[in-house]
Amino acid sequence: MTDMLDGVRDHYRATGLTERLKTALAAFGPEDQRLMPEQLGALDQFHTRGLAATAELAALAGITADMSVLDVGSGVGGPARFLAEAYGCRVTGVDLSEPFVDAARYLTERTGQSGRVSFETASALELPFDGGRFDTVLLQHVAMNIGDRTRLYCEIRRVLKLGGRFATFDVVMGDAVAHSDGPHYPLPWARTPATSFLLTGAATRAAIEPAGFRTLAWQDDTEAAKAWFARLRASDPPPSPNLGVVMGPDFPQLAANLGRNLTEGRLGILSAVFEAA
C-alpha cells in the first residue's frame, strides 16, 4: 500500500510549487494584493471542465452555508475556495501531496479565505477526523488514483453524518476499454498504468453503495467532457498561469490524452451524489 501511495505522491511531487506560484502570480499584481478565487480558475481546478464542473457538482449536492464540507484529494484547493466563496460554508481539504497542501494554504491566504478554508496532508484511506464530522464530502478526479475503493468509500462514509451527502466527479473506464488495450498514457493523474486504478461507472456504484450509501443522483457527463475538450483543442492555449505551473510543461499532452481517450470511448466521466444511510 505504501509503495502505491508513494507512486501517486511522486506523480504529484510538484517540487518548489509554492515558490513557482509566487512567481507566476506576479502577473496578477503585488504579493500583498488580495486575489479573487475565480482569478485562479485556470490553475487551481484540477479536473475536466474546471470551475463549471465544481459549480455543477456543488449544486447537485445541495451545499448550503451552514454546512461543514470535506474535500478529499483537494489538490491546490480551488474547489474548496470556490465552495466557501459561493456558499459561505466551511471547507476542509485533505491531500496526499505535501507540496499541493502547502500551495493550497498559500493560495488561500492570497484570497483572504484562511478563516473558512483549511488544508491538511493526509491519505483518503486514513482520514484524520472523528466519525460523523461532516455534512458533505466531495471527491473530484481522485478515485482513479486509489486501488482500495472499499476502504476509500468506507472512510468517506465514516466521517459523514447520517443523512450527509457524498458527491463524486470522476473518470471511469469506458465501454471500449474492454475491447482495447486500455487508455493511452500519460494522463493527468498517472504517467503510466502503475498509479491508475480505473473502474467502470457500474463498478464504481457497486463499490460505493455497500459502504453505506443510497444513490440520489447519477449522471454520465462524458458528452459534456468531450465537447469541452473539442473546444479546448480549437482554441488558443489557456492564459498563464495555468495548470502547467502545477504539473509541469507536459501538462497539455496529459490533458490532450484524456480528451482522446474520451473520444475513443476508452474513458468516461461520471457525476454522482449519494446519501449516507
| Strand order across the 117-121 sheet | 117-121, 90-95, 68-72, 134-140, 160-173, 267-276, 213-220
Q: Which listed residue (55, 125, 194, 224) binds ligand SAM by CB under 6 A?
A: 125
Amino acid identity of residue 203, one-letter, is: A
From 31-39, 110-118, 138-146, 199-207, span contacting ligand SAM (CB under 6 A): 138-146
105 binds ligand SAM per the rule CB under 6 A: no
User: Is residue 134 helix, strand or coil?
Assistant: strand
Q: How many residues bind ligand SAM (CB under 6 A)?
A: 25
Phi and psi (nearest 5°) for 155? Answer: -65, -45
DSSP track, 24-67:
HGGGG--TTSPPPGGGGHHHH--STTHHHHHHHHHHHHT--TT-
The percent helix, strand, coil of the chain (3-state, each to 5) is 45, 20, 35
From 19-27, 96-104, 204-212, 214-222, span contacting ligand SAM (CB under 6 A): 96-104
108 binds ligand SAM per the rule CB under 6 A: no
Q: Which listed residue (117, 146, 160, 245) binds ligand SAM by CB under 6 A?
A: 146
Whether the Cβ atoms of residue 155 and residue 146 lie closer than 8 Å to each other: no
1 versus 206: smaller Cβ distance to ligand SAM? 1
48 binds ligand SAM per the rule CB under 6 A: no
Rounded least distance, CB 32 to ligand SAM, Å: 26
Which residue in the shown chain puts its C-beta closest to ligand SAM? 75
Instruction: Give the footprint of ligand SAM on this chain (CB under 6 A).
Output: 5, 8, 12, 45-47, 73-75, 78-79, 95-97, 100, 123-125, 140-142, 145-146, 188-189
